[in-house]
């Protein structure tokens, strides 16, 4: 691993910085958990695509730039440093996209990936069901073959952004008598198909970031299956690896949060003339942890580029970044003191309520992408070789 950037990488960084400075919306976009905000973010995806920045690691023929992982990390650093909008299609471009690259047919790649890169199709994830949250092997939603289609029945829940998304990817039981992780298949469904009902679920802030989805004899063409029939678990584990590994939560996200936290600490110190040393230590720890995560990711990227693989260690990544995110936002609210609970519309809200919103979202980090309890079991059994309890 070389810690010095090449001339080409520095030029690439300058190109990104220049493009972002010209194109980032002057007015912050609304939350993509609202209809208006979702439309604004979809438009931002189109703008990114027009500059070929929507998914830089994809092949040019599929809407990308063919960048390597180090260039992707550089892109992410500039993207977060510039304060660019969050990515509304992250389930598609960061999770399903890489899975399609590995398991999709040529027809599926050509059909789905360019529209994903351009923002024409925004994807939601269909893993959780009532009674099958982190334990995906308990999935009961069925997809029974009938001619050249599957007939899907059942329910999914806690599907992020499904209220306004166009497509859903998820696991369905194609062998109804099968148990656990056997007999599952990975299907791709248009959310406007006849027989699908999408019901919004309101969050604590009143916005509809989640949805439950009901399937009533929904017909899905066989050609919409990703991977072999009954091999859905293997495909889904690849998707989960991308979710817990490098792509979904780039280190730049946490480095920028750590810098903002340090700035908040300085503001508090200037205002009050001093801050509890315990909070100062927490800020320093957050900054070091974010930098350590970034260096670790660079090391992993270098190893992958040399033909290595990322396996169970993606679980250590997921535990680390999700708990780091919680600690940083807890520290920020302690620094904000009595103003911490003010929302964005309040005149005295700290950073327009940004930290409070981040704190609420950070609570979900140890839960989604497989709970941290499950990840610790994986680390214990697959990385440390400890016996199953």
Instruction: Tell me if residue 256 is catalytic.
Output: no
pLDDT of residue 389: 65
pLDDT of residue 228: 94
- Same-domain pairing of 128 and 192: yes
| Strand-pair partners of 97 | none
CATH number at residue 144: 2.40.110.10
Structure tokens at 321: 């970044």
Give the number of other CB atoms < 10 A from CB of residue 294. 19
Task: Reduce the DSSP state of residue 168 to 3 states and report it.
Answer: strand
- Same-domain pairing of 184 and 217: yes
Determine whether 52 is exposed, middle or buried from the number of CB atoms within 10 Å of its CB (0-12, 13-18, 19+).
Answer: middle
Q: Structural domain of residue 372, as residue ranges?
A: 249-384
Q: What is the pLDDT along the chain (389 residues), one digit of tens a residue?
A: 677 899 999 999 999 999 999 999 988 898 888 899 999 999 999 999 999 999 999 988 888 899 999 999 999 999 999 999 999 998 999 889 989 998 999 999 999 999 999 999 999 999 889 877 667 778 899 999 999 999 999 999 989 889 999 999 999 999 888 878 889 999 999 999 999 999 999 877 778 888 999 999 999 999 999 999 999 999 988 887 766 666 667 899 999 999 999 999 999 999 888 889 999 999 999 999 999 999 999 988 888 888 887 777 888 888 999 999 999 999 999 999 888 888 877 888 888 888 998 998 899 889 887 789 988 998 898 888 888 76
- Same-domain pairing of 253 and 217: no
Strands 149-156 and 196-201: unpaired
User: Any idea what DSSP says for residue 60?
Assistant: G
pLDDT of residue 247: 64
Distances (CA, A) of 47 to 92, 329, 360: 17, 31, 29
Half-sphere exposure of 24 (CA within 13 A, CB side): 17
Q: Which of 243, 313, 323, 341 is catalytic?
A: 243
- Same-domain pairing of 334 and 371: yes
Residue 79 lies in a domain: yes
pTM: 0.84
The total domain count for the chain is: 3
DSSP string, 184-212: EEEEEEETTSTTEEEEEE--TTS---EEE
Contact between 84 and 45 under an 8 Å Cβ cutoff? The reply is no
């Amino acid at each position: 691993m070389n810690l010095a950037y090449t001339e080409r990488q520095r030029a690439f960084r300058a190109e990104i910085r220049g493009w972002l400075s010209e194109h980032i919306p002057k007015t912050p976009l609304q939350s993509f958990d609202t209809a208006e905000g979702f439309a604004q973010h979809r438009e931002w995806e189109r703008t990114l695509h027009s500059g070929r920045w929507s998914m830089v690691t994809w092949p040019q023929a599929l809407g990308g730039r063919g960048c390597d992982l180090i260039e992707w990390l550089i892109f992410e650093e500039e993207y977060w440093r510039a304060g660019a909008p969050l990515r509304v299609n992250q389930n598609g471009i960061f999770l399903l996209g890489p899975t399609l690259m590995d398991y999709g047919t040529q027809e599926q790649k050509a059909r789905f990936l360019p529209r994903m890169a351009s923002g024409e199709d925004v994807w939601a994830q269909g893993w959780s069901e009532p009674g099958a949250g982190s334990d995906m092997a308990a999935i009961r939603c069925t997809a029974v073959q009938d001619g050249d289609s599957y007939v899907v029945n059942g329910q999914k829940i806690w599907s992020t952004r499904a209220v306004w998304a166009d497509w859903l990817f998820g696991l369905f039981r194609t062998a109804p008598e099968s148990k656990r992780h056997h007999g599952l298949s990975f299907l791709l469904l248009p959310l406007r198909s006849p027989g699908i009902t999408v019901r919004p679920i309101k969050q604590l802030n009143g916005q509809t970031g989640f949805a439950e989805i009901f399937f009533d004899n929904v017909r899905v063409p066989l050609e919409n299956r990703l991977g072999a029939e009954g091999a859905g678990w293997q495909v889904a584990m690849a998707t989960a690896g991308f979710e817990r590994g490098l792509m979904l939560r780039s280190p730049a996200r946490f480095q920028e949060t750590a810098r903002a936290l340090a700035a908040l600490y300085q503001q508090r110190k200037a205002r009050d003339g001093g801050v509890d040393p315990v909070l100062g230590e927490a800020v320093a720890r957050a900054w070091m942890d974010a930098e350590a995560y970034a260096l670790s990711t660079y090391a992993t990227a270098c190893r992958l580029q040399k033909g290595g693989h990322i396996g169970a260690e993606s679980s250590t990544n997921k535990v680390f970044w999700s708990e780091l995110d919680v600690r940083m936002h807890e520290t920020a609210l302690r620094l904000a003191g009595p103003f911490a609970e003010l929302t964005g519309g309040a005149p005295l809200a700290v950073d327009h309520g940004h930290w409070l919103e981040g704190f609420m979202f950070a609570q979900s980090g140890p839960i989604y992408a497989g709970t941290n309890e499950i990840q610790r079991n994986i680390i214990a059994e697959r990385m440390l070789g400890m016996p199953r309890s």
